[in-house]
Structures are given as structure tokens and as C-alpha cells.
Amino acid sequence: MVLKEILTFIYNYNKCRSIILLISLFGAFMKVSIVIPALNEEGIVGKTVQSIPVQNLRELGLETEIIVVDNASTDNTAQEATAAGATVILEEKRGYGNAYIRGLNEASGDIIVMGDADGTYPFDQTHDFIQPILSEDYEFVMGNRLTGQMDKGAMPPLHKYVGNPMLTKMLNVLFDSDLSDTHCGMRAFKKDVLGKINLKSPGMEFAIEMVIEIAENNIKVKEVPIEYRVRGGEAKLSSFKDGWRHVNYMVNRKFFKREYYASK
């Protein structure tokens, strides 16, 4: 009984210290915006939204804004996300990048967290994930699925052992980066980072465009091991088609269209 009371005291003490630190740094509760693009994710998007520990984050001094960007779904994605507590924004121009660019522009938080609607990313661990920003002075956090706990069947062997390592190596060599999992979709960053980088890709290339931009603009980044879970619903990726699009983007950006990508 005594041990339990001691552990409870330590937990509450550390929680209070975290809140006091945040208020001393920012003058009020910080706000975290969680931006989730969704295309026909009925059946899983509601669970994803509900997995975000809003009350726990509040107790730790963080207000939470949940934005689901409905990318012209033809099912009940928008209704399900709304019922789960998210603010839903419609982006009629389909495309992974289009959805994210719209959502990031709408986000009002001091910190923005990104992740998919399909249940693969651990939004329930948001507070731990953003710790490098809160307490270590990093501007950007990248999830690392390969060094974290990966559920069986969460990533096809072709992606795990061939596609992701090859594309990551290519990006690192071409753009002087040093990341281990450049295609991980769970990311977090200070909102002012958006003013330092230039995001314009409408499709899946958006994922690597952001990584290249943070490398080229010397954004201070830290990789964090995360859990990676089996997705709910139908997969949207096409392994070879999307892989080639990423290769094509990197080659064009590096060797043929540097002025285009450098312009605001």
C-alpha cells in the first residue's frame, strides 16, 4: 500500500512539473494539432480518432485539436470521423499531398502531429512521441517503424527488406540526410517549421518531399522508434507504381528541376 502511494505521488509530481514547465515556456497551455488524411476509411477512422488520448494530453498541459481531411471519400468516412470527435475538412482534390497541405494549413496548434487514418500508427502514444520537441529542443520528429515494435503482417516483406531500405538509402545519398525510415508517415513538428519549408507535391511524393525539405533547410530532426500496427481497411498503396514515383521525384528534383523545387 505504501509503495502504491509513493508511486502515485511520483507520477502526480512529474505530471505537475511537466505542466508547470510548459506554462513557463509558453505562458499558457500548448496546443497540439493532429492532422489525419482519410480516403474511404469508414470502419477504422473513428477508432483512429478515438485512440488519441485527449484527456490525458489535457492533464499534461496540452490542448488537442484533431483534424481529419476527407479527401473526397465515397463512403461514410466524414460522418464517422465527426462522430468520433474530429473536425472534418473536405479536400475535393484527391491526393495524399493535397489532403495534407490542406490540413496543415488549417491546423492551429503549436505542434503538429501527422499520421494515417488506418490504425497503423500509435496516436495513443502522442505525448511520448513529441517529447523531443517538448524537452530536447528538436524541431521535427520522425517515427521509425524499423527499430520499433512491428506487428506481424503490418509491413509486407517487399517493403520492409527491399523497398523502404532502397528508397531511404537513395534519399540519404542524394540529399545528405541521415534517416533510417524516410517513408514513415508518423511525424511531428513545431508549427513554425512550415514557414521554413516548401511543400507542393499533390500526391504520394509529398512524404519524401517533406523529408528532403527538412534536410535541405537544416531542420533539427530526431527519429523515434514507434509501434507499427496492422492496418484496418483497404490498402491504398501500389508498391511498384508508388515506389517508381518516389524514385522519379528524387532524380528529377536532384538533377533536372532544382530551380522549380527551390522556388516558393
User: What is the per-residue pLDDT across 125-146, written as a single tens digit (0 to 9) for each?
Assistant: 999 999 999 999 999 999 999 9
The predicted pLDDT at position 156 comes to: 84
pLDDT tier at 241, thresholds 50, 70, 90: confident
The predicted pLDDT at position 238 comes to: 62
119/27: higher pLDDT: 119
The predicted pLDDT at position 25 comes to: 46
String of DSSP letters for the chain? -HHHHHHHHHHHHHHHHHHHHHHHHHSS-EEEEEEEEESS-TTTHHHHHHTS-HHHHHHTTEEEEEEEEE-S-SSSHHHHHHHHT-EEEE--S-SHHHHHHHHHHH---SEEEE--SSS-S-GGGHHHHTHHHHHS--SEEEEESSSS-B-TTSS-HHIIIIIHHHHHHHHHHHHT---S-TT---EEEEGGGGGTS-----STTHHHHHHHHHHHTT--EEEEE--B-PPPS-----HHHHHHHHHHHHHIIIII-HHHHH--
pTM, entire model: 0.86
Domain ranges of the chain: 27-262
Query: What are the Cα distances from residue 57, in Å, to 15, 64, 83?
Result: 10, 7, 20
The predicted pLDDT at position 261 comes to: 58
Query: Mean pLDDT over residues 202-220, rounded?
Result: 97
Query: Mean pLDDT over residues 26-54, rounded?
Result: 92
- In this structure, are residues 111 and 189 in contact, taking their beta carbons and an 8 Å threshold? yes
The predicted pLDDT at position 83 comes to: 98
Mean pLDDT rounded to a whole number for the chain: 89
Q: Decide if pLDDT at 14 tops 70.
A: no
d(CA 73, CA 55) in angstroms, rounded, equals 29
Angle of helix 96-106 versus helix 206-216 axis, rounded to 10: 60
182/239: higher pLDDT: 182
- In this structure, are residues 151 and 229 in contact, taking their beta carbons and an 8 Å threshold? yes
Query: Mean pLDDT over residues 199-219, rounded?
Result: 96
pLDDT tier at 3, thresholds 50, 70, 90: very low
Q: Decide if pLDDT at 222 tops 50.
A: yes
> What percentage of the chain exceeds 70 in pLDDT?
84
Query: Mean pLDDT over residues 31-43, rounded?
Result: 98
27-262 has which CATH code? 3.90.550.10
The four Cα atoms 229, 112, 254, 215 give a dihedral, to 10 degrees, of -100
The predicted pLDDT at position 160 comes to: 87
Query: Mean pLDDT over residues 116-120, rounded?
Result: 97
110/242: higher pLDDT: 110
